[in-house]
Amino acid sequence: MYSLYIKRFIDLIIVFCALVIIGPILLFTTIFLCFANKGAGVFFTQDRPGQYSKIFKVIKFKTMTDECDEGGNLLPDEKRLTKMGKFVRSTSIDELPQLFNVLKGDM
Protein backbone atom coordinates (compact mmCIF):
# COMPACT_ATOMS: atom_id res chain seq x y z
CA MET A 1 0.00 0.00 0.00
CA TYR A 2 2.71 2.50 1.01
CA SER A 3 4.96 1.90 -1.99
CA LEU A 4 2.07 1.93 -4.44
CA TYR A 5 0.15 5.03 -3.45
CA ILE A 6 1.62 7.10 -0.64
CA LYS A 7 5.22 7.08 -1.89
CA ARG A 8 4.09 7.90 -5.42
CA PHE A 9 1.94 10.77 -4.13
CA ILE A 10 4.86 12.17 -2.10
CA ASP A 11 7.18 11.83 -5.12
CA LEU A 12 4.72 13.76 -7.29
CA ILE A 13 4.32 16.59 -4.78
CA ILE A 14 8.08 16.97 -4.25
CA VAL A 15 8.91 16.83 -7.97
CA PHE A 16 6.13 19.27 -8.86
CA CYS A 17 7.38 21.76 -6.25
CA ALA A 18 10.97 21.31 -7.42
CA LEU A 19 9.98 21.89 -11.05
CA VAL A 20 8.14 25.08 -10.13
CA ILE A 21 11.20 26.37 -8.28
CA ILE A 22 13.83 25.36 -10.85
CA GLY A 23 11.64 25.98 -13.91
CA PRO A 24 13.45 29.19 -14.88
CA ILE A 25 16.82 27.41 -14.69
CA LEU A 26 15.52 24.65 -16.96
CA LEU A 27 14.13 27.20 -19.41
CA PHE A 28 17.34 29.27 -19.64
CA THR A 29 19.50 26.16 -19.90
CA THR A 30 17.31 24.82 -22.70
CA ILE A 31 17.58 28.08 -24.64
CA PHE A 32 21.36 28.40 -24.19
CA LEU A 33 22.00 24.75 -25.10
CA CYS A 34 19.87 25.11 -28.21
CA PHE A 35 22.30 27.74 -29.46
CA ALA A 36 25.43 26.03 -28.11
CA ASN A 37 24.51 22.75 -29.83
CA LYS A 38 23.82 24.60 -33.08
CA GLY A 39 20.24 23.34 -33.27
CA ALA A 40 21.27 19.68 -32.89
CA GLY A 41 18.90 19.12 -29.97
CA VAL A 42 18.80 19.98 -26.32
CA PHE A 43 18.01 16.64 -24.68
CA PHE A 44 19.85 13.35 -24.63
CA THR A 45 18.22 10.03 -23.75
CA GLN A 46 19.90 6.83 -22.74
CA ASP A 47 18.55 3.41 -21.89
CA ARG A 48 19.05 2.53 -18.22
CA PRO A 49 17.83 -0.36 -16.09
CA GLY A 50 15.23 0.56 -13.51
CA GLN A 51 13.31 -1.34 -10.88
CA TYR A 52 13.08 -5.06 -11.62
CA SER A 53 15.61 -4.49 -14.46
CA LYS A 54 12.95 -2.76 -16.56
CA ILE A 55 14.69 -0.59 -19.18
CA PHE A 56 13.65 3.07 -19.38
CA LYS A 57 15.01 6.14 -21.15
CA VAL A 58 16.70 8.59 -18.80
CA ILE A 59 16.51 12.24 -19.91
CA LYS A 60 19.48 14.61 -19.61
CA PHE A 61 20.59 17.86 -21.16
CA LYS A 62 22.82 17.34 -24.20
CA THR A 63 26.19 18.90 -23.42
CA MET A 64 28.20 17.66 -26.42
CA THR A 65 27.95 18.12 -30.17
CA ASP A 66 27.70 15.24 -32.65
CA GLU A 67 30.88 16.19 -34.54
CA CYS A 68 32.66 13.39 -36.40
CA ASP A 69 36.07 12.97 -37.99
CA GLU A 70 36.68 12.20 -41.67
CA GLY A 71 35.98 8.50 -41.07
CA GLY A 72 32.55 9.15 -39.57
CA ASN A 73 33.66 8.35 -36.02
CA LEU A 74 32.65 10.65 -33.19
CA LEU A 75 35.39 12.94 -31.95
CA PRO A 76 36.67 12.41 -28.38
CA ASP A 77 34.42 13.74 -25.62
CA GLU A 78 36.75 16.60 -24.68
CA LYS A 79 36.58 17.96 -28.26
CA ARG A 80 32.79 17.68 -28.49
CA LEU A 81 32.00 19.24 -25.10
CA THR A 82 30.72 22.80 -25.57
CA LYS A 83 31.62 25.69 -23.25
CA MET A 84 28.03 25.85 -22.05
CA GLY A 85 28.13 22.06 -21.68
CA LYS A 86 31.15 22.29 -19.37
CA PHE A 87 29.30 24.70 -17.12
CA VAL A 88 26.11 22.61 -17.16
CA ARG A 89 28.03 19.46 -16.24
CA SER A 90 30.14 21.12 -13.53
CA THR A 91 26.99 22.41 -11.81
CA SER A 92 25.07 19.12 -12.41
CA ILE A 93 22.28 21.01 -14.17
CA ASP A 94 22.39 18.29 -16.86
CA GLU A 95 20.79 15.91 -14.34
CA LEU A 96 17.70 18.08 -13.67
CA PRO A 97 15.58 16.75 -16.59
CA GLN A 98 15.56 13.41 -14.78
CA LEU A 99 12.81 14.90 -12.63
CA PHE A 100 10.54 14.25 -15.62
CA ASN A 101 11.49 10.56 -15.33
CA VAL A 102 10.30 10.71 -11.71
CA LEU A 103 7.02 12.28 -12.85
CA LYS A 104 6.56 9.48 -15.38
CA GLY A 105 7.22 6.92 -12.65
CA ASP A 106 10.42 5.55 -14.22
CA MET A 107 12.61 6.53 -11.28
Helix, strand, coil share (%) of the chain residues, nearest 5: 55, 15, 25
1 band by pLDDT with thresholds 50, 70 and 90: low
The per-residue pLDDT of the chain, averaged, comes to 87
Q: Provide the whole-model pTM.
A: 0.78
Which pLDDT score, from 0 to 100, does residue 2 have? 67
1 compared with 68, residue with greater pLDDT: 68
SS3 105: coil
pLDDT score, position 61: 92
Give Cα 101 distance to the centre of its chain: 9
Of 4 and 62, more confident: 62
CB 61 within 8 A of CB 29: yes
What are the tens digits of pLDDT across the range 52-86?
888 999 999 998 887 778 888 888 878 888 888 88
Going by their DSSP bridges, the two strands 43-49 and 55-61 should be labelled as antiparallel
- The amino acid at 60: K
3 state DSSP class of 107: coil
